[in-house]
Each structure stands twice: as C-alpha cells, then as structure tokens.
Amino acid sequence: MKKGLLWIGIIGIIISNIGNYLYYQSQQLEHPIFLKHFYSHSFYQNDEYSFPFFYLTNKANPKKIKYIVADNVAAYPNNQTTQDLVSNTSDIHPVDEYNHQYLLSDYISFSYDSIPFDEDGTWSFQEISVYFTDGDYITTDIGKVVFKDKMENDNSEAIDFTISESNSDGLGKFKGYTTESLQIEKIETLLDEKLKNDIDLRINGQKVSLSNNEEIGSANLKEDDLIEIQWKIDSLSNAFEVELYLIGTTETGKPFVTPTFVSSQPTIDQKKVNELIKEGDKQ
C-alpha cells in the first residue's frame, strides 16, 4: 500500500518517545527541594523536641535525610532504623505524591543540651546544610526556626487551654478558660516579622495583629471566661509551628505569659511543584 504510512508510524513512535523522555528529564530535580518552615519552641532543661522538615524528591531516585547541620549544630532524624539508601519504594510513606516527585517529611530532633543559646536566651537559623543517605548534600534556605531557653516562671496557668482543633486548610482554633480575672495586653511570637502578614488571628472574634507595640485594649476578662483563639494561615506551602504567647496582667497585678501554638502542615499542588522545579533549575 503506502510505504509513507509506515514511515509516519515509525517516526511518530520515535518522536513521541524522545519528546516524552526529554520532558521527563526536564522535570527531574537535581537536588531535593525543601519547603519553607517557620518553627519556634521553648526548651526546658533536658528537653528534646522534633520538627518535621518537608522536601520534594524525585520518584525515580528518592532520598532520605541522614543529618542536618544548622549553625554548626548537627541534628538527626528520629527514625534512625534503616538509614541506608532507599532501595524499595515501599519504604517510603510520602506526605503527597506528584507526577515526578514525592513530598517527604523527616522529623529532625533537637535537644536542649546541643543548642547554643545566645545571651538573650534564643537561638535561630534560616539556612541549613542537609546531608542525604546517598552522599548528596545541599545548603538551603529553610525558612526560620527559633528556639528559646525557657528560664522564667511565667505564671502561665493564668489561662487554661483545653481544646484545640486544626485542619489542613491552615485554619485552627484553641479554646481555654481564664483561671482568674485578667486582661490580655498583647500577643507575641518569636517569629513576628515572618508571621504577621500571613496569619489572621482572632481572640473571641476580635482581630488581633502580631506586633510588639500594639496593645489589645478590650480583652478584659473575668474568672472562668472563655477565650477562643482562631487563626487562619494564608501561605499553605509553608510549614508552621509557632508558639503564641498571650501576655497580660491579672486583676491582682501579676503579669502572665501563657503559651499556646499555631500550626499548619504544608499542602502544595502540582502547579506549585512545577514552579518550584523551575526555580530550582535557575539556581
């Protein structure tokens, strides 16, 4: 019949395979890409705490964190059981799955003893070096993590927080009761500059902004009053776990600082992943 048909067929198969292969290669990450994390935590003596760090890694060659170094301090993942190369995909439990990548998370633990607190009792880092189990390593902006040395007794029992709810859309709620008459004067976090534009915070319905200078005048509460804190975090592609300090004075004149926290697990879609891949290529 027509040999042209045969040639069209052969060339068609070749072109579609080459095209798909090239696209596939262009979508592979050279190194894993970390999301941005905003974490703060107050450490007691001998305390140990771990945070999850989220990163995208190729499905074809998924990597696991061996350890990280932040500001000359090494920190290790929690599950140190099989730290060898990931040979079998069934070892992986991804947070999410995309066309060519997985979103993985590793809990990295920090212990009070290893933290070099500054004079003001805090320690923070924004960049870490990550060493993977296959020998690869990167240095990357991780967001901002702040640790605080909890030294003082803050009369934190002024408010008793009982119920917390949070869901995956960046919304959350805390409910608590005052143990005596008090007035909330301000709300602070260790990450005010990073957080204040991304979070919508309300106490008993009243919108509050995170800022050291603004005072919340009307939060005058009696004993056993309900305090409901609602928050909404806008940037869903970041991870948050930030301590929130409610600061004020009780009726009897005692100051108090009651901690609670807001948290949000990152969720990203394929579109965001494609953006991150493009940004990653530019570096």
Partner 1 sequence: MKKGFTKIIIGQLFLFLNIHFFIDWLPDPIGFFLIHSGIKELSKRWNLGSNAIIVKNLAITFAFLSIPSVFISRTTDQEIFHMFLFTQVYLIIMNIAFLIFIFYLFHFLFDIAKRAEEQNLLKNSIRLFYLSFIVWLIIGTTQSFVWNIQEGWLVMTLSILYMVNIVLQILFILLLFSYRKTPDGWLEAKM
163 binds partner 1 (CB under 8 A): no
21 touches partner 1 by CB under 8 A? yes
Q: Which stretch binds partner 1 (CB under 8 A): 20-28, 112-120, 194-202, 223-231?
A: 20-28
When asked if residue 12 is in the footprint of partner 1 (CB under 8 A), the reply is: yes
278 makes contact with partner 1 (CB under 8 A)? no
Q: What is the DSSP string of the chain?
A: --HHHHHHHHHHHHHHHHHHHHHHHHTS-SS-EE-EEEEEEEEPTT-EEEEEEEEEEESSS---EEEEEETTEEEEES--S--S---SGGG---SEE-SSEEEEEEEEEEEGGG----TTSEEEEEEEEEEETTS-EEEEEEEEEEEEE--S---GGGEEEEEEEE-TTSEEEEEEEESS-EEEEEEE-TTHHHHTTTEEEEETTEEE---SS---TT-EE-TT-EEEEEEEES-TTEEEEEEEEEEEEETTS-EEEEEEEEEE-----HHHHHHHHHHHHH-
Give yes or no for residue 9 binding partner 1 (CB under 8 A).
yes
Residues in contact with partner 1, shown as a per-residue x/- string from 83 to 112 under the rule CB under 8 A: ------x---------xx------------
How many residues sit in the footprint of partner 1 (CB under 8 A)? Answer: 21
Asked if 16 interacts with partner 1 (CB under 8 A), we say yes
23 makes contact with partner 1 (CB under 8 A): yes
Site residues (vs partner 1, CB under 8 A): 1, 5-6, 9-10, 12-14, 16-17, 19-21, 23-24, 27, 59-60, 89, 99-100
